[in-house]
């Protein structure tokens, strides 16, 4: 989701493969500045449907606008970033794809042999997740085998659901496109691996992005998760536009949890600028203004049993209550 996964939405009216244009608003980039712009493509539209007016604001081409036998549409999760974090199945799906569609940051992370093999790469530099997803669908409806890519897993705050919604809104079907999802390692798990074993008991994920979920709902979910004693993974924790969300999140967690609760703070897991620290919950508020916490960071908040041992977070699963060791 997020455009990348680290951005939120866009204004995006470029001409697209096969047809429509769409307009989204409320853009936010990695660093929180609002600068979602036009998308770019390594090639111009090569698909086969009619083109709507440039100011069309809704999903444009419908299934009836395409004459070709549809190709396949696959949502592929890349995992945390570097090629070695991709599953073999993800690599195979990308090798099989004729067109690859994704946020520029993720296209840039693809190995050369994959990008060189593809007939076409369509990437958007910022935001634009709806128009980009529609572009992928139109290309598949026009007869191409298309992979739409994202970080982590396509089912975790990502585009797999949006793809199905747009396919449906076009009057097409998932079966017609042989729609498939190729899982990737989600950020929570990549990040957990960097700080030991923080998530081995019941865990709740919450995104602080209030672009699609309003802040009162996010706050109420934070209260519930913190009160019920789950370990909590916080996605989309901070950006300049979301300072207040981060501050509110810290306040809610501190309302329900011991200030010394261990928190794993992992920035850019599996990428060149990876950083991982284990801090106490009470230290979290001041980290919001540092490079460690931004839109490529995931927070792993321990439960009441989580402790730090030998530089690793440990969340007991409960074995110690049943077995002697
Ligand atoms: C819109 S979500 C997408 C999540 C993704 N689909 C997944 O399965 O991990 C974007 C958020 O994921 C987290 N994230 C993505 N990649 C990350 C990485 N390499 N290291 C740490 N956090 C990451 C950050 O919290 C970021 O704001």
Q: Can you give the pLDDT at residue 128?
A: 86
Strands 180-182 and 262-267: unpaired
The residue whose CB lies within 8 Å of the most ligand 1 atoms, and thus the one to mutate among 296, 297, 300, is 296
Spacing, Cα 135 to ligand 1 middle (Å): 23
Alpha helices in the chain (DSSP H): 88-96, 104-109, 112-117, 129-141, 160-169, 187-194, 215-227, 243-256, 284-287
Q: If we measure between CA atoms, which residue out of 28, 24, 43 comes closest to residue 16?
A: 43
Spacing, Cα 76 to ligand 1 middle (Å): 15
Q: Can you give the pLDDT at residue 53?
A: 37
Domains and CATH numbers, the chain: 65-185 (3.40.1010.10), 188-314 (3.30.950.10)
Ligand 1, residue 158: give the atom nearest the CA: 6
Q: Can you give the pLDDT at residue 287?
A: 97
The residue whose CB lies within 8 Å of the most ligand 1 atoms, and thus the one to mutate among 155, 187, 264, is 187
CB 42 within 8 A of CB 305: no
Q: Can you give the pLDDT at residue 41?
A: 47
> How do the pLDDT tens digits run along the chain, 325 residues long?
333 444 433 333 333 443 333 333 333 333 333 334 334 444 434 343 433 333 444 678 999 999 999 999 999 999 998 889 999 999 999 999 999 999 999 999 899 999 999 999 999 877 789 999 999 999 999 999 999 999 999 999 999 999 999 999 999 999 999 999 999 999 999 999 999 999 999 999 999 999 999 999 999 999 999 999 999 999 999 988 889 999 999 999 999 999 999 999 999 999 999 999 999 999 999 999 899 999 999 999 999 999 999 999 999 999 989 999 9
Q: Give residues (CB < 6 A) around ligand 1.
A: 1-2, 5-6, 80-81, 150-153, 156-158, 186-187, 191, 235-237, 266, 268-271, 295-298
CB 168 within 8 A of CB 119: no
Q: Can you give the pLDDT at residue 125?
A: 78
């Amino acid at each position: 989701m997020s455009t990348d996964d680290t951005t939120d939405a866009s204004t995006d009216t470029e001409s697209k493969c096969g047809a429509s244009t769409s307009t989204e608003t409320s853009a936010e980039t990695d660093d929180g500045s609002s600068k979602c712009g036009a998308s770019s493509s390594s090639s111009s539209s090569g698909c086969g449907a009619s083109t709507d007016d440039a100011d069309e604001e809704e999903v444009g081409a419908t299934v009836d606008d395409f004459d070709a036998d549809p190709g396949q549409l696959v949502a592929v999760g890349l995992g945390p970033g570097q090629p070695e974090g991709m599953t073999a199945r993800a690599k195979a799906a990308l090798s099989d794809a004729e067109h690859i569609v994704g946020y520029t940051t993720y296209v840039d992370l693809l190995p050369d042999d994959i990008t060189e093999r593809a007939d076409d790469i369509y990437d958007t530099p910022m935001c634009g997740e709806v128009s980009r997803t529609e572009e992928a669908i139109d290309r598949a409806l026009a007869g191409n085998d298309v992979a739409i890519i994202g970080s982590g897993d396509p089912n975790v705050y990502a585009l797999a659901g949006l793809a199905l919604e747009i396919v449906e809104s076009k009057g097409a079907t998932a079966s017609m496109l042989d729609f498939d999802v190729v899982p990737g390692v989600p950020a929570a798990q990549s990040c957990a691996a960097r700080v030991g074993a923080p998530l081995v008991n019941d865990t709740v994920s919450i995104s602080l992005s209030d672009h699609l979920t309003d802040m009162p709902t996010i706050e109420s979910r934070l209260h519930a998760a913190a009160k019920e004693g789950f370990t909590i993974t916080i996605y989309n924790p901070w950006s300049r536009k979301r300072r207040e969300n981060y501050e509110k999140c810290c306040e809610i967690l501190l309302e329900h949890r011991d200030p010394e609760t261990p928190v794993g703070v992992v920035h850019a897991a599996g990428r060149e600028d990876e950083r991982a620290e284990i801090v106490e919950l009470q230290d979290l508020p001041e980290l919001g203004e540092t490079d460690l916490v931004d839109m490529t960071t995931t927070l792993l908040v321990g439960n009441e049993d989580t402790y730090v041992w030998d530089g690793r977070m440990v969340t007991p699963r409960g074995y110690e209550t049943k077995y002697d060791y």
